[in-house]
């Protein structure tokens, strides 16, 4: 619980800081470090080989799944752009992509995504398995952690994507599949979504 609260607080602070500043990157990396250390300290993190005995499929399948599902997400973003509340919320997040160094933004985004999988689909999922509802519990904890940002678009995204990642965790028995899907989705999002929401201060 302490790790979840600390990580949420750091995430909220990061997304309330000025885009592109050392403070933003420090807080973002601090958040990622908190999730990673908390996840690794809880016990062994399983990669997962339940779905297939062929290891390379555990790399290709999650990447291809993310690439195939991304057009659906992109379509949802196009709809959200027409909803004033969500438009403003998404634009607030994308300030960090518009005003930061592209390489630093990509690096921190991928590190954060990997750290979230280690903690939420690793430690939290494993702990929630005792309740018999690890998918639901880990997703709720994941979504709640984003409420510290005060951004409804992030909470909605965490609820939907958290469910997808948790189902992958259940299907494969480990974090490798959701981690690869998460990283692929994040990279595609950074590439294709920011142009839909121009920075008003550019």
pLDDT at 51: 47
Report the b/e string of 1-36 with b at 16+ CB within 10 A. Answer: eebbeebbbbbbbbbebebbeeebbebbbbbbebbb
DSSP H stretches of helix in 45-122: 57-80, 84-99, 102-116
**CA-based torsion, 18, 22, 25, 26: positive or negative:** negative
pLDDT at 43: 78
pLDDT at 50: 55
Query: Which two three-digit tokens encode residue 116?
Result: 């979230």
194, 98 in Cβ contact below 8 A? yes
73, 185 in Cβ contact below 8 A? yes
Domain regions of the chain by residue span: 2-196
Taking only the tens of pLDDT, the chain with its 202 residues reads: 788 899 999 999 999 999 999 999 999 999 999 999 999 998 778 777 654 555 556 788 899 999 999 999 999 999 999 999 999 999 999 999 999 899 999 999 999 999 999 999 999 999 999 899 999 999 999 999 999 999 999 999 999 999 999 999 999 889 999 999 999 999 999 999 999 998 867 5
């Amino acid at each position: 619980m302490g790790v979840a609260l600390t990580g949420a607080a750091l995430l909220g602070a990061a997304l309330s800081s000025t885009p592109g500043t050392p403070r933003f990157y420090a807080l973002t990396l601090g958040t990622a470090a908190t999730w990673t250390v908390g996840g690794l300290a809880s016990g062994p993190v399983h990669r997962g080989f339940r779905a297939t005995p062929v290891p390379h499929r555990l790399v290709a399948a999650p990447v291809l799944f993310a690439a195939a599902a991304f057009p659906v997400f992109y379509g949802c973003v196009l709809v959200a752009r027409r909803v004033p509340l969500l438009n403003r919320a998404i634009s607030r997040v994308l300030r960090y992509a518009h005003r930061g160094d592209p390489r630093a933004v990509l690096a921190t985004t991928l590190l954060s995504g990997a750290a979230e999988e280690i903690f939420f689909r690793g430690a939290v999922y494993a702990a929630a398995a005792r309740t018999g509802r690890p998918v639901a519990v880990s997703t709720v904890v994941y979504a709640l952690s984003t409420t510290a940002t005060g951004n409804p678009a992030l909470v909605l995204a965490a609820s939907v994507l958290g469910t997808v990642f948790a189902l992958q965790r259940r299907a494969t028995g480990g974090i490798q599949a959701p981690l690869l899907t998460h990283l692929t989705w994040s990279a595609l999002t950074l590439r294709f979504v920011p142009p839909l929401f121009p920075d008003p201060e550019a």
